[in-house]
Protein backbone atom coordinates (compact mmCIF):
# COMPACT_ATOMS: atom_id res chain seq x y z
CA UNK A 1 0.00 0.00 0.00
CA UNK A 2 1.20 3.51 -0.82
CA UNK A 3 0.85 6.42 1.58
CA UNK A 4 0.82 9.71 -0.35
CA UNK A 5 0.97 13.12 1.20
CA UNK A 6 -2.71 13.72 2.05
CA UNK A 7 -2.35 17.43 1.34
CA UNK A 8 -1.49 16.85 -2.32
CA UNK A 9 -3.27 15.16 -5.17
CA UNK A 10 -0.19 13.21 -6.22
CA UNK A 11 2.29 10.59 -5.13
CA UNK A 12 5.98 10.25 -6.00
CA UNK A 13 7.95 6.99 -6.10
CA UNK A 14 11.52 8.07 -5.55
CA UNK A 15 13.24 4.74 -6.12
CA UNK A 16 11.37 2.95 -8.87
CA UNK A 17 11.68 -0.83 -9.01
CA UNK A 18 10.35 -3.52 -11.29
CA UNK A 19 8.09 -4.59 -8.41
CA UNK A 20 6.32 -1.20 -8.66
CA UNK A 21 4.72 -2.32 -11.92
CA UNK A 22 0.98 -2.78 -11.60
CA UNK A 23 -2.47 -1.16 -11.68
CA UNK A 24 -3.00 2.05 -9.69
CA UNK A 25 -6.18 3.83 -8.62
CA UNK A 26 -6.93 6.71 -6.30
CA UNK A 27 -9.84 8.06 -4.35
CA UNK A 28 -10.55 11.18 -2.32
CA UNK A 29 -11.71 11.59 1.26
CA UNK A 30 -13.37 14.67 2.68
CA UNK A 31 -12.86 16.18 6.12
CA UNK A 32 -15.99 14.45 7.35
CA UNK A 33 -14.56 11.08 6.30
CA UNK A 34 -16.73 10.64 3.22
CA UNK A 35 -14.91 8.87 0.38
CA UNK A 36 -15.27 9.16 -3.36
CA UNK A 37 -15.43 6.24 -5.74
CA UNK A 38 -12.17 4.80 -7.00
CA UNK A 39 -10.70 6.41 -10.10
CA UNK A 40 -10.12 4.60 -13.37
CA UNK A 41 -7.19 2.18 -13.33
CA UNK A 42 -3.81 3.42 -14.54
CA UNK A 43 -1.27 0.72 -15.43
CA UNK A 44 2.38 1.41 -14.62
CA UNK A 45 5.00 -0.71 -16.35
CA UNK A 46 8.58 -0.53 -15.14
CA UNK A 47 11.14 -2.23 -17.35
CA UNK A 48 14.67 -2.70 -16.11
CA UNK A 49 17.29 -1.43 -18.58
CA UNK A 50 18.86 -4.34 -20.40
CA UNK A 51 22.59 -4.86 -20.73
CA UNK A 52 23.50 -6.20 -24.18
CA UNK A 53 26.86 -7.93 -24.55
CA UNK A 54 28.67 -8.33 -27.88
CA UNK A 55 32.16 -9.35 -28.96
CA UNK A 56 34.65 -7.92 -31.45
CA UNK A 57 36.06 -9.16 -33.75
CA UNK A 58 34.64 -12.68 -33.14
CA UNK A 59 34.09 -15.32 -30.49
CA UNK A 60 36.45 -17.97 -31.95
CA UNK A 61 40.07 -16.83 -31.66
CA UNK A 62 43.65 -18.02 -31.84
CA UNK A 63 45.80 -17.78 -28.74
CA UNK A 64 47.54 -14.39 -28.74
CA UNK A 65 44.76 -12.56 -30.57
CA UNK A 66 43.02 -9.54 -29.08
CA UNK A 67 39.31 -9.55 -28.32
CA UNK A 68 37.00 -6.93 -26.82
CA UNK A 69 33.73 -7.53 -25.01
CA UNK A 70 31.34 -4.58 -25.31
CA UNK A 71 28.47 -3.97 -22.90
CA UNK A 72 25.73 -1.54 -23.95
CA UNK A 73 22.53 -0.38 -22.24
CA UNK A 74 19.23 -0.07 -24.02
CA UNK A 75 18.30 3.34 -22.59
CA UNK A 76 19.84 6.66 -23.63
CA UNK A 77 21.59 7.67 -20.40
CA UNK A 78 25.39 7.66 -20.30
CA UNK A 79 26.46 7.51 -16.65
CA UNK A 80 26.59 3.75 -16.31
CA UNK A 81 29.32 1.80 -14.51
CA UNK A 82 29.86 -1.74 -15.81
CA UNK A 83 30.82 -4.99 -14.08
CA UNK A 84 32.05 -8.20 -15.69
CA UNK A 85 31.41 -11.85 -14.81
CA UNK A 86 32.34 -15.35 -15.90
CA UNK A 87 30.48 -18.60 -15.51
CA UNK A 88 32.43 -21.29 -13.64
CA UNK A 89 31.95 -24.82 -12.38
CA UNK A 90 33.19 -25.86 -8.97
CA UNK A 91 32.90 -28.89 -6.70
CA UNK A 92 30.99 -28.35 -3.45
CA UNK A 93 31.47 -30.05 -0.07
CA UNK A 94 29.24 -32.94 -1.16
CA UNK A 95 31.40 -33.47 -4.26
CA UNK A 96 28.66 -32.12 -6.54
CA UNK A 97 29.56 -30.01 -9.59
CA UNK A 98 27.91 -26.60 -9.18
CA UNK A 99 27.40 -23.92 -11.83
CA UNK A 100 28.00 -20.34 -10.65
CA UNK A 101 28.63 -16.82 -11.96
CA UNK A 102 31.53 -14.93 -10.37
CA UNK A 103 32.92 -11.41 -10.95
CA UNK A 104 36.20 -11.15 -12.81
CA UNK A 105 39.10 -10.26 -10.53
CA UNK A 106 39.98 -7.26 -12.72
CA UNK A 107 36.39 -6.33 -13.53
CA UNK A 108 36.98 -2.66 -12.71
CA UNK A 109 39.17 -2.11 -15.76
CA UNK A 110 36.07 -2.64 -17.89
CA UNK A 111 33.93 -0.17 -15.93
CA UNK A 112 33.57 2.05 -19.01
CA UNK A 113 31.71 -0.63 -20.98
CA UNK A 114 34.57 -2.38 -22.82
CA UNK A 115 36.65 -5.27 -21.50
CA UNK A 116 39.67 -6.26 -23.63
CA UNK A 117 41.74 -9.43 -23.46
CA UNK A 118 45.10 -8.87 -25.14
CA UNK A 119 46.72 -11.25 -25.64
CA UNK A 120 44.18 -14.05 -25.27
CA UNK A 121 45.23 -17.32 -23.66
CA UNK A 122 43.73 -20.80 -23.64
CA UNK A 123 42.36 -20.29 -20.12
CA UNK A 124 40.24 -17.39 -21.39
CA UNK A 125 37.90 -19.95 -22.97
CA UNK A 126 34.57 -19.62 -21.20
CA UNK A 127 31.23 -17.85 -20.95
CA UNK A 128 31.06 -14.16 -20.02
CA UNK A 129 28.36 -11.65 -19.08
CA UNK A 130 28.06 -8.07 -17.85
CA UNK A 131 25.78 -5.82 -15.84
CA UNK A 132 25.64 -2.10 -15.12
CA UNK A 133 24.58 0.35 -12.43
CA UNK A 134 23.84 4.07 -12.51
CA UNK A 135 23.70 6.83 -9.91
CA UNK A 136 25.97 8.12 -7.18
CA UNK A 137 23.78 8.03 -4.08
CA UNK A 138 21.16 5.63 -5.42
CA UNK A 139 22.02 2.64 -7.57
CA UNK A 140 19.86 1.61 -10.53
CA UNK A 141 21.04 -1.87 -11.57
CA UNK A 142 20.34 -3.62 -14.84
CA UNK A 143 19.52 -7.26 -15.32
CA UNK A 144 22.50 -9.40 -16.26
CA UNK A 145 23.27 -9.32 -19.97
CA UNK A 146 22.98 -12.09 -22.49
CA UNK A 147 25.82 -14.58 -22.25
CA UNK A 148 28.80 -14.40 -24.62
CA UNK A 149 31.12 -17.39 -25.05
CA UNK A 150 34.77 -17.04 -26.05
CA UNK A 151 36.62 -19.97 -27.60
CA UNK A 152 40.43 -19.82 -27.72
CA UNK A 153 42.57 -22.28 -29.69
CA UNK A 154 46.33 -22.70 -29.45
CA UNK A 155 49.19 -24.53 -31.16
CA UNK A 156 50.31 -26.57 -28.13
CA UNK A 157 47.52 -26.98 -25.58
CA UNK A 158 48.47 -28.95 -22.45
CA UNK A 159 45.74 -31.48 -23.21
CA UNK A 160 43.89 -32.67 -26.31
CA UNK A 161 40.23 -33.60 -26.61
CA UNK A 162 40.06 -36.98 -28.36
CA UNK A 163 36.74 -37.71 -30.09
CA UNK A 164 35.66 -41.23 -31.06
CA UNK A 165 34.28 -41.51 -33.74
CA UNK A 166 36.76 -38.85 -34.90
CA UNK A 167 34.43 -36.35 -36.59
CA UNK A 168 32.44 -33.26 -35.70
CA UNK A 169 29.03 -34.44 -37.03
CA UNK A 170 27.19 -37.37 -35.46
CA UNK A 171 23.82 -39.10 -35.78
CA UNK A 172 21.21 -39.02 -33.03
CA UNK A 173 21.06 -42.26 -31.00
CA UNK A 174 24.75 -42.97 -31.73
CA UNK A 175 27.30 -43.29 -28.94
CA UNK A 176 30.27 -40.97 -28.49
CA UNK A 177 33.47 -41.12 -26.46
CA UNK A 178 35.34 -37.97 -25.39
CA UNK A 179 38.66 -38.24 -23.59
CA UNK A 180 41.35 -35.86 -22.41
CA UNK A 181 44.85 -36.82 -23.54
CA UNK A 182 47.27 -35.12 -21.15
CA UNK A 183 50.53 -33.65 -22.42
CA UNK A 184 51.62 -32.14 -19.11
CA UNK A 185 51.68 -33.13 -15.46
CA UNK A 186 48.23 -31.68 -14.75
CA UNK A 187 45.66 -33.93 -13.16
CA UNK A 188 41.91 -33.89 -12.82
CA UNK A 189 40.97 -33.23 -16.44
CA UNK A 190 37.21 -33.19 -17.09
CA UNK A 191 35.16 -32.85 -20.27
CA UNK A 192 32.83 -29.86 -20.36
CA UNK A 193 30.16 -28.74 -22.77
CA UNK A 194 28.47 -25.49 -23.70
CA UNK A 195 25.04 -25.34 -25.34
CA UNK A 196 22.75 -22.35 -25.80
CA UNK A 197 20.03 -23.98 -23.70
CA UNK A 198 22.08 -25.47 -20.85
CA UNK A 199 25.18 -23.23 -20.92
CA UNK A 200 28.25 -24.83 -19.28
CA UNK A 201 27.88 -28.30 -17.79
CA UNK A 202 30.28 -30.97 -16.62
CA UNK A 203 30.16 -34.43 -18.24
CA UNK A 204 28.66 -35.89 -15.06
CA UNK A 205 25.39 -34.10 -15.96
CA UNK A 206 24.97 -35.65 -19.41
CA UNK A 207 27.38 -38.59 -19.69
CA UNK A 208 29.26 -41.26 -17.79
CA UNK A 209 32.67 -40.33 -16.36
CA UNK A 210 35.59 -42.75 -16.04
CA UNK A 211 38.83 -40.98 -15.18
CA UNK A 212 39.32 -38.33 -17.86
CA UNK A 213 36.94 -40.00 -20.32
CA UNK A 214 33.30 -39.09 -20.91
CA UNK A 215 31.03 -41.70 -22.50
CA UNK A 216 27.69 -40.81 -24.09
CA UNK A 217 25.46 -43.80 -24.83
CA UNK A 218 22.76 -42.00 -26.84
CA UNK A 219 23.20 -38.69 -28.62
CA UNK A 220 20.38 -36.16 -28.96
CA UNK A 221 20.19 -33.01 -31.07
CA UNK A 222 20.30 -31.03 -27.82
CA UNK A 223 23.87 -32.31 -27.36
CA UNK A 224 25.02 -30.04 -30.20
CA UNK A 225 27.52 -27.63 -28.68
CA UNK A 226 31.15 -26.83 -27.95
CA UNK A 227 33.21 -29.39 -26.00
CA UNK A 228 36.60 -29.07 -24.32
CA UNK A 229 38.80 -30.44 -21.54
CA UNK A 230 39.50 -28.39 -18.43
CA UNK A 231 41.64 -29.03 -15.37
CA UNK A 232 41.04 -28.04 -11.78
CA UNK A 233 43.71 -25.37 -12.16
CA UNK A 234 41.93 -23.76 -15.11
CA UNK A 235 43.98 -25.14 -18.03
CA UNK A 236 42.05 -25.93 -21.22
CA UNK A 237 42.26 -27.96 -24.40
CA UNK A 238 41.28 -26.50 -27.75
CA UNK A 239 37.47 -26.40 -27.98
CA UNK A 240 35.63 -28.46 -30.61
CA UNK A 241 32.20 -27.70 -32.07
CA UNK A 242 30.17 -30.96 -32.24
CA UNK A 243 26.87 -31.23 -34.13
CA UNK A 244 24.26 -33.96 -33.65
CA UNK A 245 21.92 -34.47 -36.62
CA UNK A 246 18.56 -36.27 -36.63
CA UNK A 247 18.60 -36.66 -40.42
CA UNK A 248 19.98 -39.57 -42.44
CA UNK A 249 23.12 -37.89 -43.81
CA UNK A 250 26.17 -36.42 -42.07
CA UNK A 251 29.51 -35.10 -43.31
CA UNK A 252 32.75 -36.61 -42.02
CA UNK A 253 35.32 -33.81 -41.96
CA UNK A 254 38.55 -33.16 -40.01
CA UNK A 255 38.11 -32.22 -36.35
CA UNK A 256 41.26 -30.08 -36.41
CA UNK A 257 42.61 -27.67 -39.07
CA UNK A 258 44.31 -29.07 -42.16
CA UNK A 259 47.78 -27.76 -43.04
CA UNK A 260 48.33 -26.18 -46.47
CA UNK A 261 49.75 -28.68 -48.96
CA UNK A 262 48.22 -31.67 -47.17
CA UNK A 263 45.21 -33.63 -48.48
CA UNK A 264 41.66 -32.92 -47.30
CA UNK A 265 39.33 -35.92 -47.32
CA UNK A 266 35.57 -35.64 -46.85
CA UNK A 267 33.06 -38.50 -46.61
CA UNK A 268 29.30 -38.47 -46.83
CA UNK A 269 27.95 -40.94 -44.27
CA UNK A 270 24.47 -42.43 -44.17
CA UNK A 271 22.51 -43.61 -41.16
CA UNK A 272 21.36 -46.86 -42.82
CA UNK A 273 23.73 -48.37 -43.77
CA UNK A 274 26.63 -46.48 -42.19
CA UNK A 275 28.91 -46.55 -45.19
CA UNK A 276 30.52 -44.10 -47.58
CA UNK A 277 30.11 -46.15 -50.77
CA UNK A 278 26.93 -44.37 -51.88
CA UNK A 279 26.87 -41.43 -54.24
CA UNK A 280 26.76 -37.89 -52.97
CA UNK A 281 27.12 -34.28 -54.05
CA UNK A 282 29.61 -32.14 -52.15
CA UNK A 283 29.20 -28.40 -51.60
CA UNK A 284 31.45 -25.60 -50.40
CA UNK A 285 29.83 -22.36 -49.24
CA UNK A 286 26.63 -23.40 -51.00
CA UNK A 287 28.19 -24.13 -54.41
CA UNK A 288 28.56 -27.62 -55.87
CA UNK A 289 32.13 -28.97 -55.99
CA UNK A 290 31.52 -32.55 -57.07
CA UNK A 291 28.38 -34.36 -58.21
CA UNK A 292 27.39 -38.01 -58.16
CA UNK A 293 30.61 -39.16 -56.52
CA UNK A 294 31.09 -42.37 -54.56
CA UNK A 295 30.58 -40.63 -51.23
CA UNK A 296 34.16 -39.40 -50.93
CA UNK A 297 35.85 -36.19 -51.99
CA UNK A 298 39.61 -35.53 -51.78
CA UNK A 299 41.45 -32.26 -52.29
CA UNK A 300 45.04 -33.48 -52.64
CA UNK A 301 46.87 -30.18 -52.16
CA UNK A 302 44.76 -28.02 -49.89
CA UNK A 303 45.24 -24.24 -49.81
CA UNK A 304 43.81 -21.37 -47.79
CA UNK A 305 41.19 -20.80 -50.49
CA UNK A 306 39.73 -24.24 -49.67
CA UNK A 307 38.70 -23.01 -46.21
CA UNK A 308 34.93 -22.73 -45.80
CA UNK A 309 31.62 -24.41 -44.98
CA UNK A 310 31.16 -27.87 -46.48
CA UNK A 311 28.19 -30.19 -46.66
CA UNK A 312 27.05 -33.16 -48.74
CA UNK A 313 23.73 -34.23 -50.22
CA UNK A 314 22.14 -37.45 -51.42
CA UNK A 315 19.29 -37.10 -53.95
CA UNK A 316 16.93 -39.31 -51.94
CA UNK A 317 18.31 -39.47 -48.40
CA UNK A 318 18.73 -35.77 -47.81
CA UNK A 319 21.68 -33.57 -46.90
CA UNK A 320 24.07 -33.11 -44.03
CA UNK A 321 24.49 -30.04 -41.89
CA UNK A 322 27.33 -27.65 -42.71
CA UNK A 323 30.76 -27.97 -41.10
CA UNK A 324 33.57 -25.46 -41.17
CA UNK A 325 36.89 -26.74 -42.52
CA UNK A 326 39.85 -24.63 -41.42
CA UNK A 327 43.19 -24.49 -43.23
CA UNK A 328 46.34 -23.30 -41.50
CA UNK A 329 49.45 -22.05 -43.24
CA UNK A 330 52.74 -23.91 -43.23
CA UNK A 331 55.47 -22.00 -41.44
CA UNK A 332 59.17 -22.02 -42.36
CA UNK A 333 60.82 -25.43 -42.54
CA UNK A 334 57.45 -27.13 -42.43
CA UNK A 335 56.50 -25.72 -39.04
CA UNK A 336 52.76 -25.39 -38.82
CA UNK A 337 51.60 -21.85 -38.17
CA UNK A 338 48.82 -20.80 -35.77
CA UNK A 339 45.35 -21.17 -37.14
CA UNK A 340 41.89 -19.65 -37.03
CA UNK A 341 38.69 -21.65 -36.68
CA UNK A 342 34.95 -21.32 -36.91
CA UNK A 343 33.32 -18.17 -35.59
CA UNK A 344 30.27 -19.00 -33.50
CA UNK A 345 27.42 -16.60 -34.27
CA UNK A 346 24.88 -16.01 -31.55
CA UNK A 347 21.81 -13.81 -31.60
CA UNK A 348 21.48 -10.89 -29.21
CA UNK A 349 18.15 -10.04 -27.63
CA UNK A 350 17.47 -6.41 -26.82
CA UNK A 351 14.90 -4.91 -24.48
CA UNK A 352 13.39 -1.47 -24.13
CA UNK A 353 13.42 0.78 -21.09
CA UNK A 354 10.54 2.94 -19.91
CA UNK A 355 11.68 5.68 -17.55
CA UNK A 356 9.38 7.59 -15.27
Predicted pLDDT of residue 70:
95
**Cβ 111 vs Cβ 81: under 8 Å:** yes
SS3 241: strand
Same domain flag for 121 and 73:
yes
Same domain flag for 114 and 167:
no
Same domain flag for 98 and 175:
no
Which residue among 102, 125, 153 closes a domain?
153
Same domain flag for 261 and 193:
yes
Domain of 132, in residue numbers: 51-153
Whole-number Å distance between alpha carbons of 266 and 171: 17
Same domain flag for 120 and 202:
no
SS3 109: helix
Predicted pLDDT of residue 18:
76
Whole-number Å distance between alpha carbons of 321 and 171: 11
Same domain flag for 84 and 194:
no
Same domain flag for 187 and 62:
no
> What stretch of H or E contains 143?
none
Residue 107 lies in a domain: yes
Q: E strands of 92-224, at which residues?
A: 97-103, 114-117, 126-134, 148-153, 159-164, 169-171, 176-182, 190-195, 199-202, 208-210, 213-216
Predicted pLDDT of residue 183:
63
Bridging pattern class, strands 51-56 and 22-24: unpaired
In terms of Cα–Cα distance, which of 309, 305, 298 is closest to 276?
298
SS3 content of the chain, % helix, strand, coil (to 5): 5, 45, 50
Same domain flag for 24 and 72:
no
Same domain flag for 125 and 253:
no
Predicted pLDDT of residue 293:
72
**Cβ 36 vs Cβ 342: under 8 Å:** no
**Cβ 317 vs Cβ 325: under 8 Å:** no
Residue 202 lies in a domain: yes
Whole-number Å distance between alpha carbons of 101 and 93: 18
Q: Annotate 288-346 with three-state secondary structure.
A: EEEEEECCEEEECCCCHHHCEEEEEEECCCEECCCEEECEECECHHHCECCCCCCCCCC
Predicted pLDDT of residue 337:
43
Residue 194 lies in a domain: yes
Predicted pLDDT of residue 184:
60
Residue 342 lies in a domain: no
Residue 343 lies in a domain: no
Residue 320's contacts (CB-CB under 8 Å, 6 or more residues apart) are: 169, 245, 247, 249, 250, 251, 268, 311, 312, 313
Residue 141's contacts (CB-CB under 8 Å, 6 or more residues apart) are: 48, 131, 132, 133
Predicted pLDDT of residue 269:
92
Residue 128 lies in a domain: yes
Same domain flag for 228 and 299:
yes
Predicted pLDDT of residue 138:
46
Predicted pLDDT of residue 340:
33
Predicted pLDDT of residue 78:
74
Same domain flag for 133 and 4:
no
Residue 333 lies in a domain: no
**Residue 271's CATH number:** 2.60.40.10
Residue 346 lies in a domain: no
**pLDDT per residue rounded down to tens, the chain (356 residues):** 555 555 667 788 877 777 889 999 888 877 777 788 888 999 998 877 888 999 999 999 989 999 999 999 877 677 888 999 998 877 766 666 777 888 898 888 888 899 999 999 999 999 999 988 876 644 556 677 889 999 999 888 888 999 999 999 999 999 999 999 876 655 688 999 999 887 898 898 899 999 889 999 999 999 999 999 998 778 899 999 999 999 999 999 999 888 999 999 999 999 887 665 578 899 999 999 988 678 899 999 999 999 999 999 988 889 999 999 988 877 654 444 443 333 333 322 222 233 33
Sign for the CA dihedral angle at 252, 221, 319, 240 comes to negative
In terms of Cα–Cα distance, which of 184, 199, 181 is closest to 233?
184
Indicate the number of domains in the chain.
3
Same domain flag for 206 and 291:
yes
Amino acid sequence: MLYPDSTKHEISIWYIRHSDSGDYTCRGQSSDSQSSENSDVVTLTVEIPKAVLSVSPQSWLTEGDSVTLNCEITDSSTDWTFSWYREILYRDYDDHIINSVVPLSDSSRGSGGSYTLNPTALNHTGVYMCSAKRGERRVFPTDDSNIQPLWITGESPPVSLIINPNRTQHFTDDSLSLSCEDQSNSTGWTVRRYTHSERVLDCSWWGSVTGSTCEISFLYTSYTGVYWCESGSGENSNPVNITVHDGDVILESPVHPVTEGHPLTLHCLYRYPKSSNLRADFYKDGSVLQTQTTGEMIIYNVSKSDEGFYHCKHPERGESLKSWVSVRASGPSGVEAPFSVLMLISSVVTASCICW
